[in-house]
Amino acid sequence: MGKITRQEHSKDKPIDNSDIDFTKADKMSDEEIEKRAKSDPDSLPFSDEQLKKVKIRKRHKTNE
């Protein structure tokens, strides 16, 4: 079983993508990217019905 890592990000602490090489993805069409994503069982997109149920919640800032 894989390890789950949780990272939080914000404007003050953006995600660091410096170690990712996007060259291959940049050469692919949107259709090819979508086709590959749909063929990956770990990366299946939400259905329209699932997207209708999505609730976006903002975290409340805490004084730590």
pLDDT at 63 over 70: no
Q: How far is CA 44 from CA 10, 41, 47, 48, 53, in A?
A: 26, 6, 9, 12, 16
**16 vs 60, more confident:** 16
pTM assigned to the model: 0.43
φ, ψ (nearest 5 deg) of residue 33: -60, -45
Q: What is the CA radius of gyration of the chain?
A: 16
| pLDDT band of 14, cuts 50, 70, 90 | confident
